[in-house]
């Protein structure tokens, strides 16, 4: 089966290349360092590195406490972060500047994987969440590079899909991989696919160890006073195509009851900023954008955030937070950021990217789940009208975040001896 997988990886490489070229027509960022997808143009790290892989924006954001802990514990080590998406690369630059190196992970062709390892010389590999790359993992095993799956999780549907190719994945998980699972359920699913029981540990989810600036609430309050004055503010963050239409229609309904309400709209991907602005114009909304540098007038209905990295700041400035990717089948984004700031959280029904976190939120009453335009409008109006309920919900979410911190410490307990021994 491995031979078939390797052959397939080569056969599909032109398809991947065409996809990236086509994406680059509308977003030139997809052409950035294109050769790295094929193992060409990697930085030469002769002294080796600690390699952290995070697919895109959400995973990169989750690495912040891990990267900070690694830099503190191993200050002389170079840290390399790989991503798949250019938005992930942009977030690496925003969060870490020149403090870490970045490159794109290669396609799963053995020759590209070999070139990647030859160039960057990883001493340890830390892969965020659900990424399983048979050829990359085999190369880690062949070179005796310790590999840790960080905050590893696996859904029931993924388990069923992996079982169709069980010999391949059993082989993949046999290279001394350490599984730092989010929950015992996730750990058992990995064991069922062939992960070694003695190397499969439950550490929790490091997303709960998110780091936020202590002055963020103050900055949020100042921003609110400057831009929005005393108006009621709700935010829809990390939104996707077709989701904005639902949100905007809900906003129309909200303003019928609460005429001064303003929506802060933050699309997930920067390449969609212009498209969402066009949608607002088409739908007849009076809006201003963040980059325009203007203050909201009395008639402003929507504030479009067309910048990167400011989602937490605008969460801190809002009364109610809707988390995007949940009204369309994307699977949802980070519920913890608004919760850590004490904001009541509203989501759609599609939460399969964070099922355990979403379940915890529902169990303690830290979120409201809606299904459509009308229920979204009703939820926001309910929280606008009942400030005590909104505050209590936000406090429950903040407490949930605090109670589940500690995964980073358990993870570092696994990583420290592996990295020290390998060095």
For tokens 């926001």, name the residue.
Answer: 380
Measured from the Cβ of residue 307, the count of other Cβ atoms closer than 10 Å reads: 15
Predicted confidence at residue 171, as pLDDT, reads: 73
**H/E element holding 32?**
none
Residue 101: band (very low, low, confident or very high) from pLDDT cuts 50, 70, 90: very high
Report the share of the chain in percent with pLDDT over 70.
97
| Distance from C-alpha of 60 to C-alpha of 90, rounded to nearest angstrom | 10
Is 151 within 8 Å of 66 (Cβ atoms)? no
Respond yes or no: is residue 59 known to be catalytic.
yes
Q: How many residues does the chain have?
A: 423
Q: Does domain 2-204+406-422 have CATH number 3.30.70.260?
A: no
**DSSP letters of 182-226?**
SSHHHHHHHHHTT--GGGEEE---GGGG----TTHHHHHHHHIII
Contacts of 372 (CB under 8 A, 6+ apart): 246
Max mean pLDDT among 39-48, 253-262, 348-357 falls in 253-262
CB-based burial of residue 152 (10 Å sphere; 0-12 exposed, 13-18 middle, 19+ buried)? buried
- The mean pLDDT value of the chain amounts to 91
Predicted confidence at residue 262, as pLDDT, reads: 98
Is 410 a residue whose pLDDT tops 90?
yes
Contacts of 222 (CB under 8 A, 6+ apart): none
Closest alpha carbon to 353 in 338, 371, 335, 368: 335
Closest alpha carbon to 268 in 252, 295, 247: 247
Paired tokens of 373? 């335009």
Predicted confidence at residue 289, as pLDDT, reads: 96
* HSE toward the beta carbon, residue 375, CA cutoff 13 A: 10
Q: pLDDT tens digit string along 182-210?
A: 889 889 988 888 888 899 999 999 999 99
CB-based burial of residue 156 (10 Å sphere; 0-12 exposed, 13-18 middle, 19+ buried)? exposed
Is 272 a residue whose pLDDT tops 80?
yes
| Distance from C-alpha of 56 to C-alpha of 82, rounded to nearest angstrom | 9
| Distance from C-alpha of 335 to C-alpha of 397, rounded to nearest angstrom | 9
Q: pLDDT tens digit string along 220-235?
A: 999 999 999 999 999 9
Contacts of 195 (CB under 8 A, 6+ apart): 173, 177, 179
Is 358 within 8 Å of 335 (Cβ atoms)? yes
Predicted confidence at residue 4, as pLDDT, reads: 82
* Predicted model pTM: 0.81
DSSP structural state of residue 319: S
Rounded mean pLDDT, 236-260: 97
Predicted confidence at residue 421, as pLDDT, reads: 60
Predicted confidence at residue 422, as pLDDT, reads: 58
Rounded mean pLDDT, 233-244: 97
Domain boundaries of the chain, sorted by first residue: 2-204+406-422, 216-403
Predicted confidence at residue 354, as pLDDT, reads: 81
Of 144-153, 312-321, 365-374, where does mean pLDDT reach its minimum?
144-153
Rounded mean pLDDT, 166-187: 81
Is 23 a residue whose pLDDT tops 60?
yes
Rounded mean pLDDT, 132-149: 89
Contacts of 407 (CB under 8 A, 6+ apart): 151, 182, 203, 204, 205, 206, 208, 209
Residue 167: band (very low, low, confident or very high) from pLDDT cuts 50, 70, 90: confident
Is 1 a residue whose pLDDT tops 80?
no
Predicted confidence at residue 349, as pLDDT, reads: 97
Tell me the H-state helices in 27-73: 57-62, 64-73
Q: Does domain 216-403 have CATH number 3.60.15.10?
A: no
Please tell me if the domain spanning 2-204+406-422 has the same topology as the one spanning 216-403.
Answer: yes
């Amino acid at each position: 089966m491995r031979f078939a997988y390797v052959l397939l990886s080569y056969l599909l490489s032109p398809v991947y290349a065409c996809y990236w070229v086509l994406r680059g027509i509308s977003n030139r960022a997809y052409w950035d360092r294109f050769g790295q997808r094929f193992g060409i143009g990697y930085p030469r790290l002769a002294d080796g590195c600690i390699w952290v892989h995070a697919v895109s924006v959400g995973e990169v954001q989750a690495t912040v406490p891990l990267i900070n802990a690694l830099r503190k514990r191993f200050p002389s080590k170079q840290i390399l972060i790989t991503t798949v998406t250019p938005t992930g690369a942009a977030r690496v630059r925003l969060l870490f500047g020149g403090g870490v190196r970045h490159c794109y992970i290669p396609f799963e062709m053995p020759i590209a994987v070999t070139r990647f390892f030859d160039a960057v010389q990883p001493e340890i590999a830390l892969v965020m969440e659900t990424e399983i790359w048979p050829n990359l993992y085999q190369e880690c095993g062949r070179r005796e590079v310790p590999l840790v799956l960080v905050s590893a999780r696996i859904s029931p549907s993924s388990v069923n899909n992996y079982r169709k190719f069980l010999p391949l994945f059993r082989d993949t998980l046999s290279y001394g991989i350490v599984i730092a699972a989010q929950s015992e359920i996730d750990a058992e699913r990995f064991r069922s696919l062939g992960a070694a029981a003695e190397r499969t540990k439950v550490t929790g989810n490091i997303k709960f160890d998110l780091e936020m600036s202590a002055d963020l609430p103050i900055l949020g309050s100042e921003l609110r006073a400057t831009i929005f004055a005393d108006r009621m503010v709700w935010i829809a963050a990390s939104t996707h195509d077709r989701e904005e239409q639902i949100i905007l229609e809900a906003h129309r309904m909200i303003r019928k009851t609460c005429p001064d309400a303003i929506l802060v709209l933050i699309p997930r991907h920067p390449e969609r900023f212009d498209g969402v602005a066009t949608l607002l114009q088409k739908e007849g909304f009076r809006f201003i954008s963040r980059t325009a540098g203007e203050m909201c007038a009395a008639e402003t209905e929507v504030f479009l955030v067309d910048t990167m990295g400011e989602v937490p700041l605008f969460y801190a400035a809002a009364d109610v937070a809707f988390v995007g990717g949940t009204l369309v089948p994307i699977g949802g984004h980070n519920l913890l950021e608004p919760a850590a700031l004490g904001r009541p959280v509203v989501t759609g029904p599609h939460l399969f990217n964070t099922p355990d976190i979403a379940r915890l939120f529902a169990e303690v009453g830290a979120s409201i789940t809606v299904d459509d335009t009308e229920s979204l409008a009703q939820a926001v109006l309910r929280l606008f009208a009942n400030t005590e309920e909104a505050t209590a919900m936000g406090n429950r979410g903040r407490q949930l975040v605090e109670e589940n911190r500690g995964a980073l410490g358990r993870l570092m307990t696994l990583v420290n001896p592996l990295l020290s021994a390998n060095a």
